[in-house]
Amino acid sequence: MTPPGGQDGEFCPRDRALVFEDPNGTRILYDPGFTVAGPDDSGLGKIDIILVSHMHGDHAGNAHNKAPNPVTCAEPDVSVSALPNSNSVNIALAKKAKIVTGSEMPPFFAGKLKANGGDLGKNMKDAGIAGYVGEATGYVVTFSNGLVAYLSGDTGVTSEQDTVVRGHYKAKLAVINIGDTFTTGPKEAAYVINDLVQPASVIPSHANEVATNDGKILPGTKTETFLKAVKVPAHVPLSGKAMEFDGSGKCVAGC
């Protein structure tokens, strides 16, 4: 797993995107958002599947960075508009990737991919929807080495994190949003990990803050609060730094 974040070696406010590479070579991009500098981002590489949790711009990508590492961690340059499509759609078109999504988003993305341009309002009408495209979506992904990963998206505390994610799928790696805006905050996220999902490892995401300096966690941050509260190994997603996990959810390299 490699995060294509806003600043190499750091965990920055708008970092959402993660690239997962299965041992069989399949590459999955999760929530491209603002930090992936479009389809030509030098750190992106081959992409087979794109997972989009919901239609907020910081996840689907209504705009994006001009280039990797454009300004600073605190003040990213997201001046490149991705409308009328989205960063997600533009990457899918360029990479010939599939978009996998849930809620009421599939017809929206289908209309975008088919139209490949034009007026945003017209494309939404053509896709049969208005401005609402459904609730935020989480994912459970099973990799060929047996690893089961839970990607929370912008969700809160839900009973399904116990009954479905842990009880049925038995997820061993969790990526959970901790930013406390439209999603769990650090304490709620720690509860989800400690008491509900109970994975072997966790990766915090969507912190909405400058969480690191020179790759070190800054004191007083939400990220630090989460790391102190969680009871399993937590691995901070530093942009450009790859981490490898085995089938049991244990980090075996890069952590």
Domains and CATH numbers, the chain: 18-253 (3.60.15.10)
pLDDT at 60: 85
pLDDT at 130: 45
Percent of the chain with pLDDT over 70: 85
Query: CA-CA distance, 57 to 31, in Å (whole number)?
Result: 10
pLDDT above 60: residue 137: yes
Rounded CA separation 68/52 (Å):
21
Given a cut of 80, is residue 70 above it in pLDDT?
no
221 Cβ contact list (under 8 Å, min separation 6): 207, 209, 210, 211
Numbers of helices and strands, H then E, in the chain: 6, 14
**Confidence band of 185 (pLDDT split at 50, 70, 90):** very high
Are the C-beta atoms of 62 and 94 separated by less than 8 Å?
no
Per-residue pLDDT at 119 exceeds 70: no
Distance CA 97, CA 137 (A): 19
Residue 63 DSSP one-character state: E
The pLDDT mean for the chain works out to 88
The partner residues of 21 in beta bridges, in order of sequence, read: 27
Give the pLDDT confidence of 203-245 residue by residue, as tens digits: 999 999 999 999 999 999 999 999 999 999 999 999 999 999 9
